[in-house]
Structure formats: C-alpha cells, structure tokens
Amino acid sequence: MRFPFFVLAICFTLTQLRAQSEVEKLVISHLTGDFYIYTTFNRYKDSRVMANGMYLVTNSGVVMFDTPWDTTQFQPLLDSIQARHRQKVTMALATHWHDDKTAGLEYYRQQGIRTYTTIQTDVFSKKNGHKRAAFLLAGDTVFRVGQYTFETYYPGEGHTADNIVVWFGKEKILYAGCLVKGVDAKNLGYLGDANVLEYANTLKRVQQKFRKPNYIIIAHSDWKNKRSLKHSIRLAEKLRRDSRR
C-alpha cells in the first residue's frame, strides 16, 4: 500500500507547485469594499517586476483600471473576475501609454469591453505602436458606473507626458499608477519619457487636489503605505536639483 500513497503524495506536490506557479502570474488582493488590486509580472532589466492594476465591481459590471503587463494574463484575469464575482468586465481605462498599462486594450476591445484612454495617450500609443483604446477622453472626466463615481485627472507631465490619476472621492482612493513610486524606491524608476523638471510640480498638484487619501495605489511596488506620494515628491525634488547641476 505504500507505493500508491507515495505516488499520490508526489502527484499532490506537483499539483501544488503547478498551482503556485500559476498564482504567481496573477495575484488578486482585496483592497476595500468592491475594490480589488490585481498584480501581474514581467521582466525589466533582468529582474522580475510587479505591475499593479485595480478593478471595481459595480452593479453595472466591473471597471478595470490599466491592463495586465503579462500578455498571457489578459483572459485569466477576466476568468478570475467572472468566477469570483459572477460579473463581466464592461470597461477598461489605461492611465498612460506604456505597455504595462495599455497592452491589453485591443484584446479587451475585441471582447466587447469599452476601452478608454485620453486623447494625449492615444497620440503617444499610435506614435509608438502600442495598443489603443476605442474611446478617447478630451480632458478630465467624471464617470458614474453603477453605484460608483470616480474622476480622471491630468496633473501635468511626470513619469510620462500623458500620465493621469483616478480619484474615488467617497472612498478617498487615489489610483496613481506609475506616477507615484513606493516608499522603498531609491529613485523614480524609468525616466526615458519623463519630464524631470516638472515631475515634482505634477506630484504636488496631485497632493493638493486629493487630500488625505485612504489608499494610494501605485504600479510597481507595495501599495499599502500611504507615504508613497510624499516620498515620491522628495525623490522628484532631488531629481530636479541634480538635473540642474
């Protein structure tokens, strides 16, 4: 009888390892209420880098903020949302043109999901051969989806020339994307498309407009520390000083 039990144990271990490997490609965490953070991963400079997005479950469908960076996770994310919430994604909004935010726009459009970016983001996406949205925002926009209201805000150039943030006023959730870095960050990350002189001013506009957020959701680091915006402002001020030397 030992042999069958040994075989079963090996099979169980392999199944667990396989499941863990799959989980590591897509991690979904509850934020608060109907808000969830989803995390996918990709390679950047020989390192495995996380990319956080968010989704909101409403009584009119699920709203996705940014799309997975890992292209293999476009459908698994939809499947996971359907299985968990018995709801379909009806809208997806990308916060700037880099592919860690826009990669899934075309795929989701083909699934019948309404995809959105700003006109400015669309210009950069088209220029750089990145995926584009079906619907374009001409400026800051207030959305009412189901029982929830949120607004997009363009604070100025920072991580990119087109980066926007999303604010949920009632819940005081600031979805900041790549514009804000984590408190453990030593620098502001990739600056190839950044405005190093305006970055600090842009972050200060966000800070002044959306005061005392309960959560600040950032793209490439832990989102649980609310000091991330203040820390990013200090990094941006140092970057500006150094660039002028």
Domains and CATH numbers, the chain: 26-243 (3.60.15.10)
From first to last of the 245 residues of the chain, give the pLDDT tens digit. 444 444 434 444 444 444 444 448 999 999 999 999 999 999 877 778 999 999 999 999 999 999 999 999 999 999 999 999 999 999 999 999 999 999 999 999 999 999 999 999 999 999 999 999 999 999 999 999 999 999 999 999 999 999 999 999 999 999 999 999 999 999 999 999 999 999 999 999 999 999 999 999 999 998 899 999 999 999 999 999 999 87
pLDDT score at 47: 78
Position 129, amino acid: G
pLDDT score at 14: 41
pLDDT score at 21: 46
pLDDT score at 245: 79
Query: What would the two tokens of residue 40 be?
Result: 């996918």
Complete DSSP assignment for 125-193: HHHHT----SEEESS--EEEETTEEEEEE---SSSSSS--EEEETTTTEEEEETTS--TT-SS----TT
Length of the chain: 245
Distance separating alpha carbons of residues 31 and 215, to the nearest angstrom: 9
